[in-house]
């Protein structure tokens, strides 16, 4: 079984005056794990529902497996969906929940009717086929022992698996997942995350996974589509998204702790000025344009206050407090200067221990900002390509 490719073109949706989706384009390859991530209210769930056929777009088209599904009902689109609440049928046993999609697909209307349904002749082969599929799927998910239970008798993790199983039985071209992990506790979430990825690889299925949790997006996906305000801002691999976020909002959204954003000036020849100093970085921006610079906390270098290290620019940082993550430490600082800019840095615990051992003022550190790691965004928040250059340390401030 191989998943189907999905192509979404110019999907738009609005309720009254508010535009929920604005011309969404997205192509998902067959067998790909694509995550749509974004803050709540960005329209990602609506997009998923439109994809499933549960909601109608105002315009645009959807192709699944190369076929247009615009006119097809949800059940005809060769998709399966796992809901945030799992949406298991509470009145049915696990077995019947799993069998439901097959019954609907394989049995004629009369045979599905209550009471008279079982009396319809000639259905026993189909029924046997259904129950063997259910058995196989439940075995692969390790939920065979739960088949006779009702959803109310299951734990959260078990329900999640049943929901997954219900999606699997029909062997769909595309799995649609609407925040399937958000109702699980933290430990379980990490575990299921891994399992889901393994499952996806094993089935070689196409997963379209919606979440607001950037950690899920980063850890599970082949590619990530970041959605903001009804638009897809960037589609790229996790590494790309992290290293080169196309938009300042994406930069802010991805990464933990969040990226540091500092206001910057653009000097002559597009040289970036930060915290009153010219940086060894040239951009395509013109002099005098407003810009912002993003620096990942992990890219910041920290040294004891007493001796500065060879960074392109070094500043005094005042320590507000520290968060100890065990192997790593997060420093919350303010950078010295006219403006008290809040700033975070992330460094290995061992390094921090060395700094502390070196003596000096315990509340002050030397912060290095490596210019080659800067992400420069223009006034509209778009990422601007930049190139490292060597500039003289002091430059006239551009007013």
Partner 1 sequence: MTSAKLDVSTQELRAPSLAPSLAAAVRHGLLLIFAAIILLPFAWMILAAVKDPSDIFSDPFSLDPAKLRAVENFSKALTAAPMGLFMLNSLIVVVGVLSVQLITSVAAAYALAQLKFRGQTLLFGLVLFALCIPVQVPALPMYIALAKLGLLNSYFALMFPWFFSAFAIFLFRQHFRTYPQEIINAARIDGFTEIEIVLRLIVPSALPAIAAFSVFSVTAHWNDLYWPLIVVNVTEKMTAPLGLLNFQSAEGVSYGPLMAAATIITSPLVCVFLLARRYFVEGVTMTGVK
Partner 2 sequence: MTSLPTCGTCRPARAVPDKLRGVNAAYLFALPAVALIAIVVLAPIAVVILLSFSNYSLGATDWSLVGIGNYAQLVHDRSFLNALSNTALYVSVVVSMSVLLGLLLAILVHGTGRLRRLYEVIFFLPVASTLVALGLVWKFMLHSRIGPINELIAALGLQRIDFFNNPSIAIFALAAIGVWHLVGFNMILFLAGLTGIPRDLYQAAAIDGADGFWDRLFRVTWPMLGPTTIFVTITSTITAFQVFDTVAVITHGGPAGSTDVILYQLYQASFQYFETGYASALTVVFLIIMMAISAVQIFAARGVHYS
Task: Name the site residues for partner 2 (rule: CB under 8 A).
Answer: 49, 52-54, 73-75, 79-81, 83-85, 87-92, 100-101, 104-105, 109, 112-114, 150, 152, 166
Minimum CB distance to partner 1 smaller for 55 or for 328: 55
Nearest to 382 by CA among 178, 244, 277, 280: 244
Dihedral sign computed on CA atoms, order 236, 239, 244, 246: positive
Helix boundaries (H) for 169-237:
186-203, 214-220
Q: How far is the CB of 37 from partner 2 (least distance, A)?
A: 21
Q: CB under 8 A: which stretch of 53-61, 106-114, 169-177, 248-256 binds partner 1?
A: 53-61
Minimum CB distance to partner 2 smaller for 153 or for 372: 153
Q: How far is the CB of 251 from partner 2 (least distance, A)?
A: 33
Minimum CB distance to partner 2 smaller for 48 or for 391: 48
The interface partner of residue 56, options being partner 2, partner 1, none and the CB cut-off 5 to 8 Å by kind, is partner 1
Cβ 35 vs Cβ 220: under 8 Å: yes
Nearest to 297 by CA among 353, 252, 256, 241: 256
Minimum CB distance to partner 1 smaller for 54 or for 243: 54
Report d(CA 118, CA 293) in Å as an integer: 68
Report d(CA 146, CA 140) in Å as an integer: 13
Tell me if the bond preceding 95 is cis, omega within 30° of 0.
no
User: Contact between 109 and partner 1 (CB under 8 A)?
Assistant: no
Minimum CB distance to partner 1 smaller for 75 or for 191: 75
Give φ, ψ of 52 to 5 degrees.
-75, -15
DSSP string, 363-388: TEEEEE--GGG-EEEETTSBEE-EEE
User: Contact between 104 and partner 1 (CB under 8 A)?
Assistant: no
Kindly identify the residues of this chain, within the stretch 9-48, that bind partner 1 according to CB under 8 A: 15-16
- Token output for 396: 């006239």
User: Contact between 54 and partner 1 (CB under 8 A)?
Assistant: yes
The interface partner of residue 83, options being partner 2, partner 1, none and the CB cut-off 5 to 8 Å by kind, is partner 2
Count how many Cα atoms sit within 13 Å of the Cα of residue 144 in the half-sphere of its side chain.
Answer: 9
- State which of residues 17, 73, 114, 390 lies at the interface with partner 1 (CB under 8 A): 73
Minimum CB distance to partner 1 smaller for 73 or for 394: 73
């Amino acid at each position: 079984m191989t998943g189907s490719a999905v192509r979404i073109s110019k999907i738009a949706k609005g309720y009254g005056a508010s535009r929920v989706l604005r011309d969404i384009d997205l192509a998902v390859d067959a067998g790909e794990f694509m995550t749509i991530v974004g803050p709540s209210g960005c329209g990602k769930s609506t997009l998923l529902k439109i994809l499933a056929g549960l909601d109608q777009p105002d315009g645009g088209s959807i192709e699944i497996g190369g076929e247009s599904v615009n006119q097809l009902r949800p059940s005809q689109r060769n998709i399966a969906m796992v809901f945030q609440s799992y949406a298991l049928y509470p009145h049915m046993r696990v077995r019947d929940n799993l069998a439901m999609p097959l019954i609907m697909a394989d049995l004629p209307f009369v045979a599905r009717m209550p009471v008279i349904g079982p009396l319809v002749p000639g259905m026993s082969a189909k029924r046997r086929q259904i129950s063997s599929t259910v058995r196989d799927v439940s075995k692969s998910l390790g939920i065979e022992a739960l088949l006779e239970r009702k959803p109310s008798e299951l734990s959260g993790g078990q329900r999640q698996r049943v929901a997954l199983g219900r999606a699997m039985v029909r062997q769909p071209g595309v799995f649609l997942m609407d925040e399937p992990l958000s109702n699980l506790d933290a430990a379980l979430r990490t575990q299921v995350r891994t399992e889901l990825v393994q499952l996806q690889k094993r089935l070689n299925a196409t997963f379209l996974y919606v979440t607001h949790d950037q950690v899920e997006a980063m850890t599970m996906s082949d590619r990530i589509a970041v959605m903001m305000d009804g638009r897809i801002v960037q589609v790229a691999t996790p590494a790309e998204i992290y290293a080169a976020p196309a938009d300042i909002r994406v930069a802010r959204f991805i990464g933990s702790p969040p990226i540091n954003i500092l206001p910057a000036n653009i000097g002559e020849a597009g040289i970036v000025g930060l915290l009153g100093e010219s940086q060894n970085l040239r951009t395509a921006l013109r002099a005098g344009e407003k810009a912002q610079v993003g620096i990942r906390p992990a890219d910041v270098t920290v040294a004891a206050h007493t001796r500065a290290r060879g960074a392109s620019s070094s500043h005094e940082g005042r320590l507000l407090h520290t968060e100890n993550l065990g192997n790593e430490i997060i420093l919350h600082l303010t950078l010295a200067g006219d403006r008290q800019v809040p700033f975070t840095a992330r460094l290995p615990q061992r390094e921090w221990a060395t700094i502390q051992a070196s003596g000096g003022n315990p509340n002050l550190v030397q912060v290095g900002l490596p210019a080659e790691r800067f992400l420069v965004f223009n006034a509209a928040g778009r990422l601007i390509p930049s190139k490292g250059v060597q500039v003289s340390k002091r430059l006239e401030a551009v007013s």
